[in-house]
Amino acid sequence: MIRNSRRFILIAVSALLLTSCGNGGASTAQENYISGNGAVTFISAAERAMAPKLSGDTLYGTKFDFAGNQIAVVNVWASWCSPCRAEMPALTALSKKYSDVQFMGILTRDNLANAEVFARQLGVPYPNFIDDSLLLGFRNTLPANAIPTTVVIDNQGRVAARISGPVTVGGLSDLIERLTAE
């Protein structure tokens, strides 16, 4: 009986030790996120709601205030997110192609040092906010429902579209062109 009790305690302690070290160093931010599939949601002009004020500290240590009165692309990303890393060259290229469109990023659930190194390595030319509480302002329109998510704002400051998941050059270009033609 004592022998069986000791065996049970040994098994229980072993199981506890093995399960307590199963994380492998990954953060909960990396484990608890939803990856989108690239689905596009477009809102007709009559149904659009105003976008939140986008202002605050950026990844490069500056402050940025989006003035509005132009089409804007807001990308929600993190440096540890593989789809985010894959889409960043497309966003950078499109920000250069559409110089009259304001591109912005909102960094979420990330290490600032890692994100800054990643953004600098790719030469990301647009501001990236480091305050992900800005995302709360989209809750009544098209909230970020995956990482990455890209929201497009029309030239009247209203939320017009959302891409849940990584953008493509063609898909985002189509949205920008559609809004430009309005």
**What pLDDT score was predicted for residue 94?**
97
E strands, 120-175, are 128-129, 149-153, 159-164
Q: What is the pLDDT of residues 76-91, one digit of tens each?
A: 999 999 999 999 999 9
- DSSP character at residue 73: E
pTM: 0.79
Mean of per-residue pLDDT scores for the chain: 83
Above pLDDT 90, what percent of the chain? 71
Q: 176 lies in which domain range?
A: 35-181
Residue 121 covered by a domain: yes
Residue 30 covered by a domain: no
Q: Name which of 117, 95, 115 is nearest 104 in CA terms.
A: 95
Using omega within 30 degrees of 0 as the cis cutoff, is the peptide bond preceding 52 cis? Answer: no
Say which residue, 168 or 36, is predicted with more confidence. Answer: 168
Residue 19 covered by a domain: no
Residue 4 covered by a domain: no
In CATH, what number is assigned to the domain containing residue 172?
Answer: 3.40.30.10
Confidence of residue 140 (pLDDT cuts 50, 70, 90): confident
CA distance 73 to 75: 6
Confidence of residue 124 (pLDDT cuts 50, 70, 90): very high
Q: Name which of 76, 104, 92, 71 is nearest 176 in CA terms.
A: 71
Count the domains in the chain: 1
**What pLDDT score was predicted for residue 143?**
81
**What pLDDT score was predicted for residue 144?**
84
**What pLDDT score was predicted for residue 6?**
53
Q: What is the pLDDT of residues 8-67, one digit of tens each?
A: 444 443 443 333 333 333 333 333 444 556 678 899 999 999 999 999 999 999 999 999
CA distance 108 to 57: 13
Residue 72 covered by a domain: yes
